[in-house]
A and B are shown apart, each in its own frame.
Chain A
């Protein structure tokens, strides 16, 4: 791989970029050097910025013939040693599910950004959070996945880096569930000094003294070291259930169960290390707003106003990680509350795991839906006041 050309890396400082651009700049910082994509509104700007920037830093960009091919490019690129990503929108995301499923089974790191748009079908081209369930359950079969929800241009940068780090560390596809307002808005981006940015690279067998002769694709460790193609490790990637050494013909229900539960446990068993939330005013609050993505920006303003203008003891909890769902963290933070409000740009999706986690800690969970447009603080407030009067 070509060494990156420092001159073309963005130096630490203050920038004014679109969320789409910030996403690619984050990817470049994280070490992404392969992008395969397909145009789709409202994600096209991410791809266009990748086309511009990747060769400047010694990477390669290709526009593929469809979204399925784009996701597949990431699989091959990762196996050959690169960090790879693509960006798409909801219909393209549906097309990528088979590849995502395969990548989960083959424990293949890759990053897919979904700048969501309303559906179903062609839907529309504006704001949406309608794929947050598809993120977790859209791929066929079992196996867990990681999904992050950026709320600002700064987070498009930071969470893309975090997505690559998580994918390399946990050997899994990671989804960045973005939204059109955040992808298209321009906002201040602060790029910190290089040393302040943590980058994680996949653990390789060479790093832990495993020779080609002793290499097992799935070691007894839950985090199997990953050898790249071309390094003499005779790595064989498969999508079928398999034994630790990669054998695919000695099937048994027990082998099947062990193979899959390992994949599941790898992520779900490490929720506390993977998932992040942010909170404000949750200490002893009487009511709570749980939100994610751009809606968290409208929500925090609504929460502050409700507290200041009407003295309502309402707290704010933002899910930075959607999946694996941080149930334990939520139960740690939330005591007894009366009403939990869940504003979403869908008809109520994350409200389900939220309800499942906190049903015994609240009187009720109230959805505040909005389709195609970002909630305004006024809209959220009107619903809160209506419910609490």
Chain B
């Protein structure tokens, strides 16, 4: 199945008004700022930084009149990311919001669980498994 037109380019083909989920990469404290922190302090500092940017973003969204195009702004985490469900048009604007470094589509995806029982054995191994 070719990728083009196979339904795997949903973000490309969706209507402007459709709500999609995006991952925003945020500014974060530099490693130097965190160097003398213990884990608990690092956790608190990174979370607090992401929360401040989220709060600032909420205000910015209101100020820019974009609230109608935003369905959800996720919770801040220590990974300097925020997940936002919005229209494509708003997503483009969000990339210029204060504290935002980048924006990428972030839909769900399948993972592979690596248990192998149903895979066919290689021929040489199949032979070596024989009672002989």
Partners in one complex: no
